[in-house]
């Protein structure tokens, strides 16, 4: 039935054509990059692999895997790039919302950005120095995880802790939202407290929080684009709060709609103004009249 709809419904025809274009483009890139990697006999040595001449995600994936199909690579890349678009947008929306409600946290994040970036655009090496900003994003993902629910399908009959019996083929739903807001797991669970994650400690993930914090899931089926998504969000948020002051528009009702992500039902309206530090810098650079 779905195949038939794709052939007769104009909207579905357009969508199918767009998907095929993306798939074909990515497959062509994989073929070309595979040839380059094979020709150079390139392999990863250590976790900090970066090819300075071509630091692409595709090249990294090819060099890091001995046996992987082009189809799997294509799906991994599309998962990172396509699925990461909406999720990163939602993360930024909720983080900006939470910061706008906490002027102290916003000022602290802006001060860190000013100190680290010194007025320029962020570089890759700056990301690890934006520790407080990263913790703001971590805390935002705790309160508004994307996705809010994880679904896994049982491959065999099993018994989960608590004597919950699962039959082969049954779906198991894991409420990330409830875990992240459970008072049995977190102190002051419903409050935005970036400092709950140690600034000098490791970046919080499922392993070092004993699976209390699972915005990217965990285990072998963990989100393949977790580091890419964090990098994207940190860079984007750093640029926004470096340039702008943000203030929540008064008297608007903020409500949630859940799906693949948690997004605002009616959008998020902000008053945005150029930061004074930016205005002062522009005046200092202007020729005297």
Under the banding of pLDDT at 50, 70 and 90, the label for residue 47 is: very low
Domain boundary (23, 49, 81) is at 81
Residues 110 and 228 in one domain: yes
**pTM of this prediction?**
0.74
Residues 67 and 87 in one domain: no
Residues 260 and 273 in one domain: yes
Residues 167 and 272 in one domain: yes
Query: What's the CA angle centered on 235, arms 229 and 236, to 5 degrees?
Result: 90
Domain count of the fold of the chain: 2
Which range (36-40, 95-99, 123-127, 246-250) has the least confidence?
36-40
Under the banding of pLDDT at 50, 70 and 90, the label for residue 22 is: confident
Question: Which of the residues 87, 88, 95, 264 is marked catalytic?
Answer: 87
pLDDT above 80: residue 199: yes
Residues 104 and 238 in one domain: yes
Question: Which of the residues 93, 213, 223, 264 is marked catalytic?
Answer: 223
Reported as a single tens digit per residue, the pLDDT across 231-288 is 999 999 999 999 999 999 999 999 988 877 888 999 999 999 999 765 555 544 455 4
What are the DSSP calls for 199-260, one per residue?
Answer: TTSPPP-TTTTTTS--TT--GGGS-TTHHHHHHHHHHHHHHHHHHEEEEEPTT----EEESS
Reported as a single tens digit per residue, the pLDDT across 70-93 is 677 777 777 666 666 778 889 999
Residues 272 and 129 in one domain: yes
Which range (21-30, 64-73, 126-135, 206-215) has the least confidence?
64-73
The span from the CA of 36 to the CA of 39, in Å, is 5
Domain boundary (31, 50, 81) is at 81
Residues 100 and 72 in one domain: no
Residues 124 and 142 in one domain: yes
What percentage of the chain reaches a pLDDT higher than 70?
A: 79
Under the banding of pLDDT at 50, 70 and 90, the label for residue 187 is: very high
pLDDT (average), residues 128-139: 97
- The reply to whether 33 sits in an annotated binding site is no
Domain boundary (81, 108, 142) is at 81
Annotated active-site residue 87? The verdict is yes
Instruction: Compare 189 and 65 and report the one with higher pLDDT.
Output: 189
Residues 74 and 88 in one domain: no
Residues 252 and 269 in one domain: yes
Residues 188 and 243 in one domain: yes
Annotated active-site residue 223? The verdict is yes
Q: What is the pLDDT at residue 289? A: 43
Q: What is the pLDDT at residue 83? A: 64
* Domain encompassing residue 109: 83-285
Cβ of 265: how many Cβ atoms within 10 Å? Answer: 11
């Amino acid at each position: 039935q779905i195949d038939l709809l794709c052939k007769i419904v104009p909207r579905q025809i357009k969508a199918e054509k767009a998907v095929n274009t993306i798939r074909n483009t990515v497959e062509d890139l994989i073929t070309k990059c595979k040839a380059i990697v094979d020709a150079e006999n390139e392999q990863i040595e250590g976790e900090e692999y970066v090819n300075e001449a071509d630091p692409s995600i595709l090249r990294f994936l090819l060099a890091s895997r001995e046996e992987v199909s082009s189809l799997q690579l294509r799906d991994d890349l599309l998962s990172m790039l396509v699925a990461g678009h909406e999720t990163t947008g939602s993360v930024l929306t909720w983080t900006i919302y939470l910061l706008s409600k906490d002027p102290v946290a916003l000022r602290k994040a802006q001060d860190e950005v000013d100190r680290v970036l010194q007025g320029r655009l962020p570089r890759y090496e700056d990301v690890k120095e934006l520790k407080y900003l990263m913790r703001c994003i971590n805390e935002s993902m705790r309160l508004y995880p994307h996705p809010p629910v994880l679904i896994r399908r049982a491959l065999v009959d099993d018994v989960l802790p608590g004597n919950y019996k699962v039959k082969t083929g049954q779906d198991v739903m894991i409420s990330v939202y409830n875990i992240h807001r459970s008072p049995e797991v977190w102190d002051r669970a419903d409050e935005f407290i970036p400092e709950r994650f140690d600034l000098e400690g490791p970046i919080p993930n499922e392993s070092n929080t004993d699976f209390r914090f699972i915005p990217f899931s965990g285990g072998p089926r963990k989100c393949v684009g977790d580091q890419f998504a964090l990098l994207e969000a940190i860079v984007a948020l750093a640029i926004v709060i470096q340039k702008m002051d943000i203030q929540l528009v008064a008297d608007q009702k903020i409500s949630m709609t859940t799906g693949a992500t948690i997004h605002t039902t009616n959008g998020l309206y902000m008053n945005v103004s150029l930061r004074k530090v930016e205005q002062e810098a522009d005046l200092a650079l202007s020729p005297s009249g």
